[in-house]
Structure 1
């Protein structure tokens, strides 16, 4: 047995604050609540937790991109008396934990330790009060987004004369609206105009993939020099449609999702890798389950490492060639 494993097991024996005596004989149990299945971040969290304790029980419940399913996931966590919840994404986290304004509402989780990940703006969404002090006794998480100024500055390396940035947003996604508002506040200070367009909703109240192409053309006609994905599970799920529309319109597309660039559906991304975000969430879980920390005493953990990825095939199609000094430290996809 390694020294690290001996230390961890000793801590689990000595620290009783995080688990009651009645639970001490059962394996640790964690529920990972996902929005679109167990992807890279979920796998990163899983691998980290299993490296801590091979006997840990990890349950996966998926909302299937339907917010209405999340309350039942929380009910299942309560029935199973899990030791910790890991929630993926803004929608799942909001439906499960509520906001600072709903701390007295028993429909939300105020007792089970919870670690969120892949939340674009936990402060703007009202999930936590601050990244350093969450204001929620049972909740902490991770923060993985690159500052939007960095994204715009990176885009300027490609388009030095950019005047207007196009953005599609989905009002059904809180994170998408928050990101739109953030850009509306930031871009004037950078002498860039925001050309934003709300994606129309279909008869069932959800946006339709077939509306993406016409919406991109409207951004182009409104003067957008490039398009930014912002934060949207809908656009990410329909990356191929969005990428094709941007190429057809001759618009560079910058995305916070690295896989869009690797799949040829965007030109450039500056992003944390999702597996690494899951590992960071696992570290937060370790501090709670093994270290005995109260979730609310832990600051939201920030990602420190980001990758720049450029797709040269996309660049060729839209007629924008990245400068050599940018390519020198970028991951290149052809």
Structure 2
């Protein structure tokens, strides 16, 4: 299998443009199955690089034996690029469009209520992954099915009640949760609203601070430590990342400034514990999330299954990851019950 970068439909190899070609190696067979015709999969992500889940998607397609050509577009958090991606996917004759993240999925595949709107990809199958709440965002109807004939997707989040119970087991005197959120990400807003309701049900104080209010573009990362200080001054004793690709990209600034203010972070993204300064995560491996989405795409293209007939593919293999170096710095240690089952990072 080879990955080859090349111009696509007038696009040169730039920071946001990667094309990955996959050769199909069944030359020794005298006859090929009906699905052996090369399929073009058009992939759009929200971030500026092909991170772990993106790699999981691409590598799973490559290893599957499906004769596929993949075109990858990295939007670098720029929503203005979405119409161009929709147009290009049509011009290239994509057989399936895969979208990473809530913002990308809303911009490329649209909502249930956008049926028939030519601004969105609606005439070929679509598969989404890493959408924090596809139901609250209006992307899908239920776990039984998206309610959209040509759209399928994945779900990879643990219930928020589990996150709060984990925080309480780590810090028994926990009383005040903080979230720093990006008002330009729908998934981020949904998590804020969810915890506003959950705080009343589970009895904790909740403070949400918007990172860069009034800015319709990408927030200024220099504001992260400023807003973190605001959360500290408000008296929060634990910070939950919620859902934000932007803060995931700026994980170093986000988690470091939290620790500098003496506040532990629970992250739904395990790499913030492994690679940065979050204390704990309860999450599926990012690679596995991408793999599950790729398996959906393979099922649709190889087996000629209608996407809308498939249930939401749930990732259920969750694991605790604890950063013990951060635990020592903050003098906050998870209980033995968690450490017995957690992977610890030093």
Q: Does TM, scored on the shorter chain, surpass 0.5? A: yes
| One of 23, 27, 46 as aligned partner of 2:38 | 27
CA shift at 1:12, angstroms? 4.8
1:207 paired with 2:216, answer no
1:212-291 equivalent positions in 2, closer than 5 A: 212-291=224-303
5+ unaligned residues in a row in structure 1: which ranges? 16-23
Counterpart CA distance in 2 for 1:172 and 1:264 is 24
* Equivalent residue number for residue 198 of structure 2: 186
CA shift at 1:81, angstroms? 1.0
Counterpart CA distance in 2 for 1:11 and 1:325 is 53
* Equivalent residue number for residue 147 of structure 1: 159
Between stretches 239-248 and 169-178, larger displacement belongs to 239-248
1:1-334 equivalent positions in 2, closer than 5 A: 12-13=33-34, 26-36=37-47, 37-53=49-65, 55-201=67-213, 205-334=217-346
Counterpart CA distance in 2 for 1:272 and 1:11 is 36
8 Å Cα contact 1:114/1:140 also seen in 2: yes
CA shift at 1:10, angstroms? 9.4
CA shift at 1:333, angstroms? 0.5
In structure 2, the CA distance between the partners of 1:67 and 1:247, relative to structure 1 (3 Å rule), is same
CA shift at 1:55, angstroms? 3.4
CA shift at 1:187, angstroms? 2.1
Counterpart CA distance in 2 for 1:130 and 1:263 is 34
Between stretches 31-40 and 296-305, larger displacement belongs to 31-40
The number of equivalent residue pairs is 317
In structure 2, the CA distance between the partners of 1:302 and 1:257, relative to structure 1 (3 Å rule), is same
5+ unaligned residues in a row in structure 2: which ranges? 1-25
CA shift at 1:57, angstroms? 0.9
- Identify the structure with bigger relative contact order (alpha carbons < 8 Å, sequence gap 6+): 1
Give the superposed CA RMSD: 1.9
8 Å Cα contact 2:284/2:318 also seen in 1: yes
Please give the secondary structure, in 1, of the residue aligned with 2:303. coil
Query: Deviating runs (4+, > 3 A) in structure 1?
Result: 9-12, 201-206
8 Å Cα contact 1:12/1:290 also seen in 2: no
CA shift at 1:210, angstroms? 1.5
Please give the secondary structure, in 2, of the residue aligned with 1:290. helix
